[in-house]
Amino acid sequence: MYSRRLKSLLQKLDGSRAAERLGQHLAEPATASDRPRFGRSAKPEAAERFWKGRPQEQAAALCDADALRSAGEYGANIENFIGIAKLPVGVAGPLLVRGLHAFGEYLIPLATSEAALVASYARGAHVITRSGGAVAALISEGVLRTPAFVFADILEAGQFVAWVAEQEAGIRAAVAATTRHGKLDEIDPVIDNDVVFLCCRYSTGDASGQNMVTLATDAVCRHLLEHAPVTPKHWFIEGNFSGDKKATYLGLMTGRGRKVSASITIPEKLIGDLLQTDSERMLAYARVAALGAQLSGQFGAQGHFANGLAALYIATGQDAACVSESAVGFTRMEPREGGLFMSVTLPNLMVGTVGGGTGLPTPRAALDLMGLYGEGKAPALAEVAASLCLAGEISIMAAIAAGHFTRAHGRLARER
């Protein structure tokens, strides 16, 4: 028997004559556009040509005079440049962090179009600061790239792995030729019959490191292919094993990027005064939330890391797609003497303070606002990012526990 959802869909398609229209479209001969392909450059004249003849209100919103003047600054970060997307930026803080690398009060810029988000993180930041600051620590770091090699059989795969284990000097030299800042920390082979994945883990300095590890791994692979005693039938720079921009069990357990944790013990009085609830109610919700995460098969168990990370990433020029893996992690809540202990752990935090989009005008200004632009600052940014996630968890869990979640979104999003 068809499900109700499928029956409903078929009825809608029949009523809208969508299938009939699709059949007509497929019967029509396809014609390719004769428009010239848009150039890759980020030159003002290319953008002006694109907008010529198009609605002026669109051009004014995406490509005003300021965008045209600054087009050259974006040449290394964009292709087919037609303008600049403008999002509002709010600030959460001051957020007091007491970490291994980050110490002090931080004003954190968040770029978002979601009403209530900045207010929620700002509330959590206020609670943390009033409670004495988040204790944060960068635990480990290492960006994975996992090339794959396909051999004739498992014997050849084993010979290749055994040989690679003896090639440390040549492999390190190949990496060193591509980067001054990156370092290959380890290679861990995974064999699946005739296929070998080499899990290459790198430290990437103050860069997020996606491009760095790709170039280094390509050099490693070409060095191995040139000297290997067996030749693979195929090889690929990434075998979809590393978890690059995906939530995976591998990343959850071994980390990809920077693993960082932050915690706070909130005094009971502040829970009542600032969050309008109590620790017993928050713990009751935490138990339900943990069960929901388990039953639904979440990677980790947390409330909304992605909200804060996406807004921080956009504001500071991080690779926004890395939120898909960075937002995996765990939130813990336990009763402690004197209050409520809360912690967050993020095993896959991909952040950098150099390279990528961090040097563009707006992201650089956002990082400068925190005092975290440039070399030597990435570990501190990771600890601040984890503390931001902690602020978000405090606020959302308290709002749900107190019954204020819907009211807050209505007041700040719908009724404002």
Which residue is catalytic, options 183, 223, 246, 409?
Answer: 409
- What is the rounded average pLDDT of the residues 286-312? 96
Q: Is 245 a catalytic residue?
A: yes
Give tens-digit pLDDT for 347-364.
Answer: 999 999 999 999 999 999
Confidence of residue 407 (pLDDT cuts 50, 70, 90): confident
φ, ψ at 364 (rounded to 5°): -65, -40
pLDDT at position 60:
87
The count of C-alpha atoms lying within 13 angstroms of the C-alpha of 168, restricted to the half-sphere facing its C-beta, is 7
| Residue predicted with more confidence, 67 or 293 | 293
Give 400-409 contacts, CB < 8 A, sequence gap 24+: 400/285, 401/277, 401/281, 401/282, 401/284, 401/285, 402/275, 402/276, 402/277, 402/281, 404/276, 408/116, 408/119, 408/120, 409/115, 409/116
pLDDT over 70 at 416, yes or no? no
Give tens-digit pLDDT for 225-284.
Answer: 999 999 999 999 999 999 999 999 999 889 899 999 999 999 999 999 999 999 999 999
pLDDT at position 289:
95
pLDDT over 70 at 37, yes or no? no
Which residue is catalytic, options 183, 194, 319, 404?
Answer: 319
pLDDT at position 71:
83
Q: Is 246 a catalytic residue?
A: no
pLDDT at position 267:
97
pLDDT over 70 at 36, yes or no? no
Q: What is the pTM of this model?
A: 0.91
Which residue is catalytic, options 183, 245, 246, 404?
Answer: 245
Give tens-digit pLDDT for 163-221.
Answer: 999 999 999 999 999 998 899 999 999 999 999 999 999 999 999 999 999 999 999 99
Confidence of residue 41 (pLDDT cuts 50, 70, 90): low
Distance of CA 373 to the CA centre of its chain: 18
Distance CA 146, CA 235 (A): 11
At position 53, the amino acid (one-letter code) is: G
- Mean of the per-residue pLDDT values for the chain? 92
- What is the rounded average pLDDT of the residues 108-122? 96
Q: Is 43 a catalytic residue?
A: no
Q: Is 105 a catalytic residue?
A: no
**Tokens in use for 94?**
């001051």
pLDDT over 80 at 27, yes or no? yes
Confidence of residue 46 (pLDDT cuts 50, 70, 90): confident
Q: Which domains does the chain have, with CATH numbers?
A: 89-137+261-414 (3.90.770.10), 147-236 (3.30.70.420)
Q: Contact at 8 Å (CB) between 271 and 398?
A: yes
Q: Contact at 8 Å (CB) between 245 and 324?
A: yes
pLDDT over 90 at 33, yes or no? no
pLDDT at position 310:
98
Which residue is catalytic, options 43, 48, 114, 278?
Answer: 114
Distance CA 196, CA 193 (A): 8
pLDDT over 90 at 23, yes or no? no
C-alpha distances out from residue 54 to 59, 209, 349, 371, Å: 7, 39, 41, 42
pLDDT over 90 at 25, yes or no? no
The count of C-alpha atoms lying within 13 angstroms of the C-alpha of 84, restricted to the half-sphere facing its C-beta, is 20
